[in-house]
Amino acid sequence: GAVVSQHPSWVICKSGTSVKIECRSLDFQATTMFWYRQFPKQSLMLMATSNEGSKATYEQGVEKDKFLINHASLTLSTLTVTSAHPEDSSFYICSASIGGWTDTQYFGPGTRLTVL
């Protein structure tokens, strides 16, 4: 149980285009979803926290207009990288929790974004 999927698993796009990454909780309803970014050989950095039906809360230094997060349902959150640039190339990982601030986060397999 508690499976989280991400789609696509990898994507290559041209500079200036927008890319959407989906995060789905397959067998549970996720009140809260989290988006992380991971540069090569570095740790995970939290980008934003989203609650279903509410605006996402972004961490300091994360551009909300560049990284659009939508959590329209209890099983789906999307991250859209707008006007992507090569420096946005990274590994993006989402996680989901059933509810409550003490709840366990279940992680997706990640999406590798390469911007040419």
Residues forming contacts to another protein in the complex (CB under 8 A) are 6, 32, 34, 36, 41-46, 49, 57, 91, 93, 95, 97, 100-105, 107-110, 112
DSSP summary character for residue 66: T
Place of tokens 């279903």: 52
Given the complex with another protein, which of 32 and 75 has the nearer CB atom?
A: 32
In the complex, least distance from residue 5 CB atom to another protein, rounded to whole angstroms: 10
Contact 103, 36 (CB under 8 A): no
Residue placing its CB nearer to another protein in the complex, 18 or 64: 64
The pair of structure tokens assigned to 1 is: 């149980």
User: To the nearest whole angstrom, how small is the minimum distance from the Cβ of residue 22 to another protein?
Assistant: 14
Nearer to another protein, 5 or 83 (CB): 5
In angstroms, what is the C-alpha Rg of the chain?
13
Query: Beta 10-13 vs 111-115: how paired, if at all?
Result: parallel
